[in-house]
């Protein structure tokens, strides 16, 4: 999304200014052209040279510091595809909200017409100050995107809101600016991860799902403007920003949440690897080896609810329902049968058991099957790309009815 885009990175004076270096690195890595504007105060915290070397561009530190052009701030503003200000201090927020232009960054911002992402970072009392909040409201009304600061221990040894979010989150929000908002006004319900079926308080039956595929779908849908609810089994990856995360353990808990949220959803995508069976008895206390006189132990299993089938049977006409099918063989036949049996609009056939595809991998090899009989085979690609291709197809089908 950022490839060949020109991004202006505004850096203000705050302890978190060092994080702008990592942000710059992330943005450069995906092929964007980055131009850095630093305030005088920023120069007290980090050196201009680092930004110049990493951005491979001159750094603008003052209105009159360019040998080539006296209107560089105007030129950069007009060239920009987006501006990100990180960290944004109370000072730049106040100036931008009130039309004050008295240095390179604030003057350039008067001339910017591209999207602006503001990442406030300051002491908690400063951040909560009514003037700062008022100014942020003004900037939001003016169309700027505000990334709320994180909470935690601050450099001033106080604790509260004001931490600059990590560079990868700022990068993520910058990418969102360039994503098509074709899921705006749509509610998307996604399930992800494995389920755990308890044998006793310390043991369970589960599978290798890491949640990566489902989380990628939820993240892509959020970036495309959707309102996303993510019902997730236990995973160790961070939840995507901006989604309503509901954590569950067992298939029965997942069923309750999916059925509870489905009526309010336009698109339902079931990526989770649900355990088909659970122990008939889940013991209250840990099973002790000493209590078993033989050298074998069997666990009786009983079938779990087929959540997708239940959702499929209750699905309304306006809702789009997609399932996933992880298969080691006969992908076409197995996936198509599941699509029909569970009353799906489409199913994503996922080849597992090959390198770089399926459980735990960062990439995936999938084939889309639609209820009208058409198919779409994708080459191996990142789970993020699979998620976007999946949403492309769903959106196209929703539009054409």
φ, ψ for residue 275, nearest 5 deg: -70, 125
> For strand 6-11 and strand 82-88, is the pairing parallel, antiparallel, or unpaired?
parallel
Minimum distance between the CB of residue 230 and ligand PMT, rounded to whole angstroms? 12
Instruction: Using CB under 6 A, count the residues that bind ligand PMT.
Output: 27
152 exposure class (CB count in 10 Å sphere: 0-12, 13-18, 19+): exposed
One of 36, 88, 230, 273 touching ligand PMT (CB under 6 A): 273
Minimum distance between the CB of residue 266 and ligand PMT, rounded to whole angstroms? 18
Residue pair 209/233 in contact by the 8 Å Cβ criterion? yes
- In the bound state with ligand PMT, the residue whose beta carbon lies nearer, of 81 and 306, is 306
Minimum distance between the CB of residue 271 and ligand PMT, rounded to whole angstroms? 5
State the DSSP H helix or E strand holding residue 366, giving kind and residue range, or none if neither.
strand 366-370
Minimum distance between the CB of residue 389 and ligand PMT, rounded to whole angstroms? 13
Rounded CA gap, 58 and 36, in Å?
Answer: 8
328 exposure class (CB count in 10 Å sphere: 0-12, 13-18, 19+): exposed
Q: Which of 12, 60, 119, 156 is catalytic?
A: 156
Q: Interface with ligand PMT includes 278 (CB under 6 A)?
A: no
Listing DSSP states for 38-100 in one string gives E-HHHHTTS-HHHHHHHHTS-EE-STT--SS-TTHHHHHHHH-SEEEEEEEPHHHHHHHHHT-
Residue pair 236/193 in contact by the 8 Å Cβ criterion? no
Rounded CA gap, 93 and 133, in Å?
Answer: 9
> Using CB under 6 A, which residues numbered 214 to 233 contact ligand PMT?
214
Per the annotation, the verdict on 156 as an active-site residue is yes
**Of 165-173, 270-278, 280-288, 372-380, which part binds ligand PMT (CB under 6 A)?**
270-278
One of 210, 227, 265, 319 touching ligand PMT (CB under 6 A): 210
Q: Interface with ligand PMT includes 323 (CB under 6 A)?
A: yes
The length of the chain in residues reads 401
Minimum distance between the CB of residue 370 and ligand PMT, rounded to whole angstroms? 15
Minimum distance between the CB of residue 395 and ligand PMT, rounded to whole angstroms? 20
Rounded CA gap, 217 and 79, in Å?
Answer: 33
* x-or-dash string of contact with ligand PMT, 334-363, rule CB under 6 A: ----x-----------x-x-----xxx---
Contacts of 182 by beta carbon, 8 Å cutoff, 6+ apart: 224, 225, 391, 395
Q: Interface with ligand PMT includes 321 (CB under 6 A)?
A: no
> Using CB under 6 A, which residues numbered 300 to 319 contact ligand PMT?
304, 306-308
**Of 4-12, 33-41, 166-174, 273-281, which part binds ligand PMT (CB under 6 A)?**
273-281
Minimum distance between the CB of residue 185 and ligand PMT, rounded to whole angstroms? 25
- In the bound state with ligand PMT, the residue whose beta carbon lies nearer, of 170 and 268, is 268
State the DSSP H helix or E strand holding residue 198, giving kind and residue range, or none if neither.
strand 197-200
One of 324, 331, 339, 394 touching ligand PMT (CB under 6 A): 324
- In the bound state with ligand PMT, the residue whose beta carbon lies nearer, of 154 and 188, is 188
Residue pair 34/9 in contact by the 8 Å Cβ criterion? yes
- Catalytic residues, by residue number, are 156
Question: Where along the sequence are the contacts to ligand PMT (CB under 6 A)?
Answer: 209-214, 251, 270-274, 276, 304, 306-308, 323-326, 338, 350, 352, 358-360
């Amino acid at each position: 999304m950022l490839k060949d885009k020109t991004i202006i990175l505004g850096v203000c004076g705050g302890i978190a200014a060092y994080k702008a270096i990592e942000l710059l690195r992330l943005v450069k890595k995906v092929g964007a052209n980055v131009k850095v504007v630093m305030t005088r105060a920023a120069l007290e915290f980090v050196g201009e040279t680092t930004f110049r070397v990493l951005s491979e561009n001159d750094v603008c530190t003052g209105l009159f510091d360019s040998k080539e052009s006296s209107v560089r701030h105007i030129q950069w503003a007009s060239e920009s595809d987006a501006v990100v200000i990180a960290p944004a201090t109370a000072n730049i927020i106040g100036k931008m909200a009130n039309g004050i232009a008295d240095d390179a960054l604030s003057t350039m911002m008067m001339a910017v017409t591209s999207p602006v992402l503001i990442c406030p970072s300051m002491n908690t009392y400063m951040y909560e100050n009514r003037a700062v909040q008022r100014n942020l409201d003004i900037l939001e009304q003016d169309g700027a995107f505000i990334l709320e600061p994180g909470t935690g221990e601050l450099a001033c040894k106080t604790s509260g809101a004001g931490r600059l979010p990590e560079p990868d989150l700022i990068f993520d929000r910058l990418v969102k600016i360039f994503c098509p908002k074709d899921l705006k006004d749509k509610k998307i319900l996604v399930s992800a991860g494995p389920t755990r079926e308890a044998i006793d308080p310390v043991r369970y039956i589960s599978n290798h799902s890491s949640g990566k595929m489902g989380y990628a779908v939820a993240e892509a849908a959020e970036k495309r403007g959707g309102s996303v609810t993510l019902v997730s089994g236990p995973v160790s990856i961070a939840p995507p920003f901006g989604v309503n995360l509901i954590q569950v353990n067992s298939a029965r808990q997942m069923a309750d949440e999916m059925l509870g949220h489905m009526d309010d959803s336009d698109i339902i995508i079931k990526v989770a690897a649900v355990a088909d069976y659970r122990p008939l008895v889940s013991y209250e206390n840990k099973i002790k080896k000493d209590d078993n006189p033989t050298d074998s132990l069997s666990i009786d299993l009983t079938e779990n609810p087929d959540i997708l089938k239940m959702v499929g049977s209750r699905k309304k006409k306006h809702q789009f329902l997609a399932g996933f099918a992880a298969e080691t063989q006969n992908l076409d036949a197995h996936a198509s049968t599941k699509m029909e049996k569970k009353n799906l609009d489409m199913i994503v056939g996922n080849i597992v058991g090959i390198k770089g595809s399926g459980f735990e991998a960062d990439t995936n090899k999938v084939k889309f099957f639609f209820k009208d009989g058409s198919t779409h085979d994708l080459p191996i690609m990142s789970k993020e790309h699979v998620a976007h291709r999946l949403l492309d197809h769903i959106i196209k089908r929703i539009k054409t009815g």
